[in-house]
Chains A and B, each alone.
Chain A
């Protein structure tokens, strides 16, 4: 097993190197450079040259790539010019905010989605099933950022039950209660589409299982319907549902970009959008490499876990 883990880790190196090359090339080749973005209307050739010199962008591209890569290997991601602080500090701070939002959303969509799927399957074609199916259809169809705005209008502006934006109160607060209040709207808005998908696929998986002979046997033995559903059937259906939840994790992370903009959540998605518009090369490169690296690692962990459960996968 140790050899397999080592093999997977080593094979991730070229992947990450490839990512650094791609993101470096993209940032070098897109039109509009940082000096232009900083100077705006004042971007005379002289001023641009002066800023590029100060930012170290006057060196040849290949040299810049290796300087960047070399620094990154020593843990120095450089300094963001648009935020005037170390890139790594910014990424770590922002990434943790995104993780909080995404994991709460994932939790919400897993719990509600699976529960809705089970109820729907248990009452196939009944009114509960029809209601849930209808709600799921709306949930899947509505763009999350639009739903987010509507929720802000109702719950924050009209009723003033919940805050409009941000992660904490600007004064006082900052406890878990404060964070939770700020999490409700964005995490629900972000979870809605994923919940729909999970509910729909859970329903399918449950229906599949409910047709099995052992379910009929269980019922015939007089096991209560609740136990049959939530104990016997759901346990078996989870084999098919779990990979879907894994997929939704990726979906929720990428969907967080829109939600972070609407709710001004200080996460990594909103940061990347700003950084690209400002042509903050080091911040974009660093953040993309960091997030991609995390994703690669996450995949390795999943693969290794699967290999531990099912030794055939290693072959």
Chain B
């Protein structure tokens, strides 16, 4: 028997390992199966009951399971008929009558009729509804202006509002307006959120906690059968792991790609898709007391901050510079005459001198991270440096997201002069109405944490909300934007572009400005 020394054995095993490492073909067992789209999500969904969720992460699944009476037109934030074939609005803007599409059934086989629609809104809005306890329904206030839902006949349903409320139609196209199967709610009660049934292009197959949610093709979909046999949503909380899964072939589509990772996907194996959304990242300025009570100081801050650098360097091009309070994604209501405050430190210094405050001291609330906040710490420090360069003395205070909201939402008075904030909305009414009106000061239950007040803006927003003409509303919003731009109650920083990556085999993937992920037409070669 030949003698092998221990050392020789060791060396040869190292050599074998090296050969194995370098020479073997890559085992491709991680590849996804044909006909199935595997989507890398950012978190475990909370619920597949669209009325019980608030997170974009959940909405991406809901958008494929359900339909609303209306839906967003492809690539826009304007609505078009979906489960309703058409609708009439009364002249006073208080009654909306919807005519339901014929022959649509829920995935559980029950019929979509006027009773089902009424059930959906009553469940959310009426405390004494037998299934109200299947909530809570956090966003039900989208529909709080509804006083009554009436079944006119099996295919006609009428909504009566307490006051004219223009965003009503848009809200019907959001997940909070999706129609769930009353029979399934009755059957599963509180567990409906794990046993959902809608009318959408895919029906629910399976939810394995912390592993995946699987949907299967609804071949009878009223708007044509979908392009894939199934979709699997995987919750991958850690961004690095999500990127690694995409690179390893475990995903077909990955959403919310971290800016720093985008570079790894700029090649022919992948497609990067983007869509600017109805998102605004801004700084709330305390207009009531402190240095920012002076409009010139607020404008100086807008001039002093180098927004193109923030967007290009800190956010790696995943956002665009914001020009005003309304994101350009609301194309019909966006005032394209406005351009962003240019980066002009000299002008900022001049304005500060004019205001008699060459070195204003400001306290700046920054959050560690949160919904829509992008990269708040890095952005906060860059902003601090830009402001310091023109004479501001900025002290940053950092808070965890929920603590941060608890500090900022009740108002900045006595605590801070400036705070980061971001909003993502469905209607051009929402953000200014909740955060810029005098009636929206924190003590009145709104989000105007910087106490901005301009009676002209108040009047424009009230009028726009009550109008039923889109052209008139557009005109009013455009005027509002011009005034707010000049008053500068906020520093308008960025509009986030949602991004996603798909492998080259994935076809027809597009992101929507609504941030809903519609996979009906998407297929894999």
Q: How far is the CA of A161 from the CA of B28 in the complex (A)?
A: 8
Which one of A84, A163, A262 contacts B240 once the chains associate, using CB atoms below 8 Å?
Answer: A262
A43 contacts B by Cβ under 8 Å: yes
Task: Give the Cβ gap from B319 to chain A, nearest Cβ, in Å.
Answer: 18
Tell whether A84 pairs with B21 under 8 Å between CB atoms, given A41-B423, A164-B250. no
A299 contacts B by Cβ under 8 Å: no
Q: How far is the CA of A79 from the CA of B30 in the complex (A)?
A: 36
Which one of A55, A84, A168, A171 contacts B193 once the chains associate, using CB atoms below 8 Å?
Answer: A84
Whether B244 lies near A153 (C-beta < 8 A) is yes
Q: Please tell me the size bucket of the interface on A.
A: 35 or more
Whether B241 lies near A160 (C-beta < 8 A) is no
Task: Give the Cβ gap from A234 to chain B, nearest Cβ, in Å.
Answer: 20
Tell whether A38 pairs with B138 under 8 Å between CB atoms, given A43-B409, A171-B36. yes
A270 contacts B by Cβ under 8 Å: yes
Which one of A33, A55, A161 has the highest number of Cβ atoms from chain B below 10 Å of its Cβ? A161
Tell whether A160 pairs with B30 under 8 Å between CB atoms, given A32-B403, A261-B238, A274-B44. yes
Whether B139 lies near A165 (C-beta < 8 A) is no
What sequence of 0s and 1s flags, for each residue 370-412 of chain B, a beta carbon within 8 Å of any chain A beta carbon? 1110000000000000000000000000001111011101000
Q: For window 81-100 of chain B, which residues contact chain A by CB distance below 8 Å?
A: none
Q: How far is the CA of A79 from the CA of B54 in the complex (A)?
A: 18
Which one of B44, B49, B248, B445 has the highest number of Cβ atoms from chain A below 10 Å of its Cβ? B248
Q: How far is the CA of A270 from the CA of B210 in the complex (A)?
A: 10
Q: How far is the CA of A271 from the CA of B209 in the complex (A)?
A: 11
Q: For window 272-305 of chain A, which residues contact chain B by CB distance below 8 Å?
A: 274, 277, 279
Collect the chain A residues with CB atoms within 8 Å of residue B210's CB: 94, 264, 266, 270-271
Collect the chain A residues with CB atoms within 8 Å of residue B403's CB: 30-32
Whether B27 lies near A161 (C-beta < 8 A) is yes
Residue of B nearest to A156 (CB): B248
B234 contacts A by Cβ under 8 Å: yes
Tell whether A36 pairs with B26 under 8 Å between CB atoms, given A42-B54, A47-B138, A266-B209. no
Which one of B47, B210, B232, B406 has the highest number of Cβ atoms from chain A below 10 Å of its Cβ? B210
Task: Give the Cβ gap from B230 to chain A, nearest Cβ, in Å.
Answer: 9
Which one of B49, B237, B434, B447 contacts A274 once the chains associate, using CB atoms below 8 Å?
Answer: B237
Tell whether A41 pairs with B136 under 8 Å between CB atoms, given A84-B46, A165-B236, A170-B211. no
B183 contacts A by Cβ under 8 Å: no
Which one of B28, B139, B191, B434 contacts A85 once the chains associate, using CB atoms below 8 Å?
Answer: B191
Q: How far is the CA of A214 from the CA of B434 in the complex (A)?
A: 83
A152 contacts B by Cβ under 8 Å: yes
What sequence of 0s and 1s flags, for each residue 213-249 of chain B, a beta carbon within 8 Å of any chain A beta carbon? 0000000000000000000101111101100110111
Which one of A44, A264, A266, A274 contacts B445 once the chains associate, using CB atoms below 8 Å?
Answer: A44
Whether B138 lies near A160 (C-beta < 8 A) is no
Tell whether A36 pairs with B209 under 8 Å between CB atoms, given A152-B241, A160-B248. no
B457 contacts A by Cβ under 8 Å: no
Whether A160 lies near B240 (C-beta < 8 A) is no
Task: Give the Cβ gap from A152 to chain B, nearest Cβ, in Å.
Answer: 5
A39 contacts B by Cβ under 8 Å: yes
Residue of B nearest to A273 (CB): B237
Task: Give the Cβ gap from B149 to chain A, nearest Cβ, in Å.
Answer: 20
Whether A51 lies near B136 (C-beta < 8 A) is yes
A100 contacts B by Cβ under 8 Å: no
What sequence of 0s and 1s flags, for each residue 436-462 of chain B, a beta carbon within 8 Å of any chain A beta carbon? 000000000111000000000000000
Whether A261 lies near B402 (C-beta < 8 A) is no
Q: How far is the CA of A160 from the CA of B211 in the complex (A)?
A: 20
Whether A157 lies near B244 (C-beta < 8 A) is yes
Whether B244 lies near A164 (C-beta < 8 A) is yes
> Beyond the given A41-B422, A164-B244, could you list 10 further A-B residue pairs with CB under 8 A, ordered by the A residue number?
A39-B138, A41-B423, A43-B405, A44-B447, A46-B445, A81-B136, A84-B46, A157-B247, A160-B30, A164-B245
The 8 closest A-B pairs by CB, nearest first: A32-B402, A266-B210, A54-B136, A31-B403, A84-B47, A160-B26, A84-B193, A157-B247
